Chains A and B, each alone.
Chain A
Amino acid sequence: MSASARLSFWTRVVDTMRVPHPFRAFYGMGGKARISFLTRVVETMRVPHPFRAFYGMGRKARISFLTKAVEASVLVVAICFSLGATDASSRFNDLGHRLMCTCGCAQMLGECNHVGCPESGRERDELSSAIAAGKSDQDILNWFSAKYGATVLAAPRTTGFDLVAWIAPFAVFAAATLGTILLIRRWANVSIGKAQAAASAPVIEDPDDRERRERIRRETDIDSGPNGGS
């Protein structure tokens, strides 16, 4: 369809559809009128206070505000992730997968299944009792850790030196990502600089050279061949 045919088609679609009045009016407007209409809508909308305040901020204040917002979002997500399941069986299943069987089988308590395991049965009973006693997840994990040692926890804690285990991967990823972005930007700037230099350099071309180059181009103008591209 051409542009005018497309416009005509959509106009007919809008006309035949039972579009609510304000939208029909909107579709009937010209480009400038539409922008003016949208501006008025935004102005008359009751924008919530923080956003209105945000739009009125300076650049530094905006960055500070956004940083705080990101921090708050991360905190909310972290809290959500740290919240455990609530009913007893779910908690048993969840905690069973955060504790190890201590018999040396290197399996999680919730998954240890070998016949005649001398430890997992007792550990499961202790876990059930602790949940029934109304202890919090953290209290239960601390109790197990105190009794069996830190190896009973299936993952490092988020305190002390163990915190390094959690931070290092993200720190390395962030540093590597940042480094890669900076490197690419630097390379891109170098390429632009080279292109500009090449464009501004005077081109003095010998007709013989030009003919030779054309001949080589003609003779080597073949496809990339097997495995030629990806």
Chain B
Amino acid sequence: MAAFGSFALLIALALAAYNLFAGAVALRLIATGQPTAVSPERLADTARRAGIAGFLAITAAAFALIWSVFTNDFSITYIMEHSNRALPGAYKFSALWSGQEGSLLLWAWLLGTYGFVLRLTHKTDVKLYAYAGTILAGIQVFFLSILCFAAPPFVLYNGALPDDGNGLNPLLQYPEMVIHPPMLYLGYVGFSVPFAFALGALMMRYPGEKWIKVTRVWTLVTWLFLTAGIFLGMHWAYAVLGWGGYWGWDPVENASFMPWLTGTAFLHSVMMQEKKGMMKSWNMWLVFSTFLLTLLGTLLTRAGLVSSVHAFAQSSIGTWFVVFMGIVLAVCIFTFVLQHSHLQSEHHIESLVSRESSFLFNNLVLLTACFVILWGTLFPILSEYVEGSKVTVGAPFYNRVAVPIGIFLLFLTGVGPLLPWRATSIKSIKRNFILPVTALWATVIVCLIAGVRPWQNGSIDQGNFYALVAFSVSAAVFTAIVSEFLRGAGVISRQTGRNLFAATWLLTRRNTRRYGGYIIHIGVVIVVIGLAGSAFNRNQEQELGLHDRLSVGPYTLENVGFSQDSNLNYDSDYAQLDVYKDGKKQFQMFPEKRIYLASNQPQTMVAIHSTPEWDLYVVYEGSNPDTGQPIIKAFLNPLVGWIWAGLVIIVLGTFIALVPSLTPSTASLRVPATRTAPQEPALKGGLQ
């Protein structure tokens, strides 16, 4: 199977190279109009078919690796190092992305899959898709070259074959690790597609903004995958690392967050290009930057440039990435300089207080946040270069610098949709802002009464201060969005006689993109409220003998047993805790500590009881070597559940934004027959 996999990779590389060169030659011939023996259109089509065949070849290679994991083929070094016989089936899939070579193969396979879909749908716009397919083939050549020459996954084990493998990293043996990395990779890899479309459109001086519409769906789907991947990673960190938090500003986390920020900026500013013909160069560079940041993130994670809690697959392929990034940047700059006259804006912003400028400020804040994270991630390297010693840039730095920027961004999330296009008046500002501002101040007062006091013991409590600001701004943004929905739904309700709920549904279906976007914003507000809850985290650590008790918040934990278990994969020690609230027994928790047999590495399995109000999060930290008694650390983490609920709302909003809107004719058909339905022009005026 190793030989099969290796040959499949080589064939895939050859096909990708043919796709790149034949595609490039064909497009050049089409552009120059030179007469040739072979029709350039036919040449371009062979390139496209080579891309499709290349996908099949990479799929065969990926299948070979998965097959080898499931058949415990320890003659392949990668399988020996990342799997063992007792590994449960679901985690055998995880072996594909648990190491350097496997994760690169996953990357190449996902890129091949995106390319496959793109090439199958080429009739949407044959020429643009040919450009995009050729650029994707160029990226594929890079990844397949690494897989064939720098990090081959099918290298045979040198020496006597062991009976069993080293096993999978215990940190990865958690259900979310089966889905989190593929999601994240779908996001990372997916940004290659908008990049290919953008660069292709610029190269061919694509007329009009249709390429933006084609790219929007790809970008939104990719953004959704990346968002889900990041949140799943947060949940994994929360449930597995056992420190009570979910985001530690670790370089690996930062690496995934940076392209998310620029991708989000693109999704907003692209609307300006579609509606107003503005910001064309800006959007082009946003797409370029997002793709380059995905490469930079991979470089940071794999080259060992910065230390990280969870960089699982480090090696020396950093040089390959640096060279490739250099080539990509050079191609982008060259193409931009050559074709930038094609990107002249048709309109300019007319007022500082308008929807257009709010988009611009939104982009500014998102990119500043991206810069802050990039700066913080790279500063240790810079400091080492300048001063000769590395410094640490950890959570305290980001909490002081990035959190205020995040809150300002949230503020813009609420303000932007309330501003009309072009320009606004004081009267309009008063009308639109009165409710959100009232909600803001009402929340401030309620929070102060409830005990969220930014000033404690004569000094400012940073956590409480941020929480107060986050809660109040969230309330204002939520009110602004809901009032936007109600305003539109009210118009429909008056015109069609539908109830407010049905009118809101119709309103959303008439402009799924706009109202899907608002739902995503509501999800973001919910997430921010959840994040702000971390200011009120509490924890207690205690050695807990039999029937000893530990109290945290309203809960009392009693140790009623301490036991051990064993299976083929791991041995575990766990505590059995009865949890009381108001003197009544509520439930039991089983925090656990495992020792994985193949790797002989320990792993914490946190017990979490989640409610909308807070999470009771219990960690079994190990046994006191002197007394042999378990040490239990219990956290009470308020509002954590809101973060995951926010993700669900974001996903829902994105799905809605992806659904095509009802056309005016379809929409009018759905108006009840008993009512008159000449509402479209009035509705249009009322909502814009």
Contact = CB atoms under 8 A, between A and B. Distances in A.
Nearest to A162: B391
Interface string B262-294: 000000000100010000000000000000000
Interface in B391-445: 391-397, 400-401, 405
Contact of B513 (A81, A172, A230): A230
A225 interface: yes
Contact of A165 (B352, B379, B517, B593): B379
Interface string B171-204: 0000000000000000000000000000000000
B2 interface: no
A229 B688 contact: yes
A45 B481 CA distance: 43
Interface of B: 213, 242-245, 248, 250, 271, 275, 307-309, 348-352, 357, 360-361, 364, 367-368, 371-372, 375-376, 379, 383, 386-387, 389-397, 400-401, 405, 457-460, 462, 511-514, 517, 593, 602, 604, 619, 621-622, 633, 660-664, 680, 684, 687-688
A188 B352 contact: yes
A72 interface: no
A225 B513 CA distance: 12
B511 A230 contact: yes
B242 A113 contact: yes
B661 A113 contact: no
25 contacts: A81-B460, A81-B462, A85-B459, A86-B457, A106-B307, A113-B243, A151-B389, A151-B392, A153-B392, A155-B396, A156-B393, A165-B376, A166-B401, A176-B364, A176-B367, A177-B364, A180-B357, A180-B361, A225-B664, A227-B512, A227-B661, A229-B275, A229-B687, A230-B275, A230-B511
B395 A97 contact: yes
Contacts of B688: 229
A127 interface: no
A94 to B, nearest CB: 10
A228 B509 CA distance: 12
Contact of B684 (A97, A150, A181, A223): A223
A30 interface: no
A168 B372 CA distance: 8
Interface of A: 77, 80-81, 83-86, 97-98, 100, 104-108, 111-116, 149-157, 160-162, 165-166, 168-170, 172-173, 176-177, 180-181, 184-185, 187-188, 190-192, 222-230
Contacts of A86: 457, 459
A188 to B, nearest CB: 5
A154 B392 CA distance: 5
A100 B350 contact: no
Contacts of B394: 100, 108, 154-155
Given A155-B396, A169-B375, A187 B243 contact: no
A140 B610 CA distance: 38
A105 B376 CA distance: 19
Counting chain B CB atoms within 10 Å of each CB, which of A80, A105, A113 scores highest?
A: A113
Given A111-B245, A184-B357, A154 B457 contact: no
Given A155-B396, A165-B383, A176-B367, 13 more contacts: A80-B460, A83-B459, A104-B307, A107-B309, A115-B622, A150-B392, A152-B392, A169-B401, A191-B348, A225-B663, A228-B511, A229-B688, A230-B513
A180 B364 contact: yes
A223 to B, nearest CB: 4
Nearest to B348: A187
Q: Lowest 3 A-B CB distances belong to which pairs?
A: A187-B348, A83-B459, A154-B394
Nearest to A153: B392
Contacts of A104: 307
A176 B390 CA distance: 29
A148 to B, nearest CB: 11
Contact of B622 (A77, A116, A223): A116
Contacts of B367: 176
